[in-house]
Amino acid sequence: MIKPETPVSFFRFEDLRIYAKALEYITWLHNVVNKFPNSEQPTLAQPFLKVAQSIALHLAEGSARNKPQFIYYLKMAKSSVRECVVYTEIATRLGLMYDADKEHSVNQMMELTKMIGSLVTSLQRTIPNAKEEDEFDDMQLPPDIIKPLYRSLHIEYYGSR
């Protein structure tokens, strides 16, 4: 029996499991923050929802770029995940999220973080001389870029001359 082919999306990011996971979180969060009082909508609910949406948006934008740029956008998505953790804690401390909602939110953020990290590692393995650290290493920049930067910060540059 011939098995029907799974349709491939026109947009690459739509085939990413991490993108689907981000959309699930956004949908869940939308239902949760809509229960927040009107006074918290502009100051907490809407920014929380916006940063959750930025996870999926970074995935979409990055997927259309080259691998190093995609890694950059994945790291931006990871930053958005961290922001969601902070918003979750704020909402919980204000009594706007139940403990079960907090636990669900944090678990989803941990899973998204792991998925993003795995994708970054996988992409970095395919790039020659790619570093597997999240930290920015300014020593990889040429001295003609680093020296003016250090001078502007009133720091003496001790790199190779």
Range of the domain at 143: 134-161
Q: What's 81's domain CATH number?
A: 1.20.1440.60
Does residue 6 fall inside a structural domain?
Answer: no
- Co-location of 109 and 142 in the same domain: no
From residue 136, alpha-carbon distances to 72, 75, 120, 132 in Å are 11, 12, 15, 11
Structure tokens at 136: 């920015």
Does residue 144 fall inside a structural domain?
Answer: yes
> Higher model confidence: residue 10 or residue 95?
95
Predicted pLDDT of residue 72: 97
Rounded Cα distance, 45 and 136, in Å: 32
Does residue 4 fall inside a structural domain?
Answer: no
Which of the four pLDDT bands, split at 50, 70 and 90, describes residue 10? confident
- Co-location of 27 and 98 in the same domain: yes
Does residue 7 fall inside a structural domain?
Answer: no
> Higher model confidence: residue 24 or residue 151?
24
- Co-location of 144 and 94 in the same domain: no
Question: How many domains in the chain?
Answer: 2
Rounded Cα distance, 143 and 21, in Å: 42
- What does the pLDDT look like over 35-64, one tens digit per residue? 999 999 999 999 999 999 999 999 999 999
For residues 67-86, give the mean pLDDT: 97
For residues 117-131, give the mean pLDDT: 88
